[in-house]
A = this chain, B = another copy of it.
Amino acid sequence: MRGAVLHAPGDIRVEEREVPRIVAPTDAVIRLSAACVCGSDLWPYRGVEAVDGPVAMGHEYVGIVEEVGDEVKTIKPGQFVIGSFFASDNTCGICGAGYQSLCVHRELVGGAQAELLRVPLADGTLVATPGVPADDLIPSFLAASDVLGTGWFGAVAAQAGPGRTVAVVGDGAVGLLAVLAARQLGAEQIIAMSRHAPRQKLAREFGATDIVTERGDAGIARVKELTGGLGAHSVIEAVGTQESMLQAIGSTRPGGHVGYVGVAHDVTLDGQELFFSHVHLHGGPAPVRQYLPQLIDLIWNRRINPGKVFDLDLPLDKAAEAYRAMDERRAIKALLRP
């Protein structure tokens, strides 16, 4: 079986890997319909996260179930399914509260940039679509596996909704889909912070009403100008750097909500500044599983088209080019065809 492996920073190779098989009786093996490269894959690709020997890459996946373990009850071979980067039992107390990404039995899913993938805890992790979808829907379902679910969680964590002004820091796929999520959740004014024309355009298609090109303090000042001098009610942070986090907190009005979903790298928050900012802060790895039924329904009925974030479509064997294009910001998000 072919799969993408990171050997060292910048060194992605598609090579023969061992065929995934059922290991635990709660596993499923799926044949991937499509895979893709995540913004967070760029952290080890760029050497910001240490790479310790070859790593099978990819954690976003949709596909057809090939085989299930003896204890799998609801997921069946032949179904088209979507899961997310953390496998979860979906029955523990943490899952019950909607935080499947910190399920007490969670397992990280990896190696999805490949032909086949083993998914642990299949019943708790995978959600089947009503039928095998039309080909043109596959990018949108693939987006639901992570970037849409993550942007959605960011918008929920920021309490985006009717009557609340929203700002989004970050114009990667997650930030753009946070715009879409905020719109779906009923927000009317949505400010996208972006300096890149193609991303601004997509932000507007997804529901942004204002674009702010400034960053840092100037960006904060511009958001305040657009929100009656007070800052936005809801700000979604979708980058994960010190600068973006402070920009998000600074753009939020006192008592407002920051939803942060960019995986934090070298971020430290000063307790006293946070105290006097008076914001609500919530984030972390998105519990995508919680939103999958709702997202599948919206996509299946063609009410949203999150697949538009894929602006590069390559065969799996060209994974190295997909990484390069995203690293150089030539592509928002690259889809890989196994």
Contacts and interface: CB of A to CB of B under 8 A. Distances in A.
- Identical copies in the complex: 2
Nearest to A98: B255
Interface in A56-107: 93-94, 97-99, 101-102, 104
Interface in A229-278: 229-230, 240, 242, 245, 253-255, 260, 263-272, 274-278
A13 interface: no
Given A94-B253, A98-B255, A275 B285 contact: yes
A277 to B, nearest CB: 7
A270 B218 CA distance: 25
B274 A230 contact: no
B284 A260 contact: no
A89 B216 CA distance: 30
Contacts of A101: 254, 278
A94 B255 contact: yes
Contacts of A265: 271-272
Nearest to A278: B284
A280 interface: yes
A314 B267 CA distance: 47
A283 interface: yes
B281 A285 contact: no
Given A94-B230, A268-B268, A285 B274 contact: no
A252 to B, nearest CB: 11
A264 B253 contact: no
A2 interface: no
B267 A268 contact: no
A228 B283 CA distance: 23
Nearest to A267: B271
A98 B280 CA distance: 13
A104 B229 CA distance: 10
Contacts of A253: 93-94, 97
A271 B268 contact: yes
A46 interface: no
A318 interface: no
A282 B281 contact: yes
A281 B278 contact: no
A255 B280 CA distance: 13
A227 to B, nearest CB: 9
A270 B268 CA distance: 5
10 contacts: A93-B230, A94-B255, A99-B255, A104-B230, A260-B275, A267-B270, A268-B268, A268-B269, A268-B270, A275-B283
Interface of A: 93-94, 97-99, 101-102, 104, 228-230, 240, 242, 245, 253-255, 260, 263-272, 274-285, 287
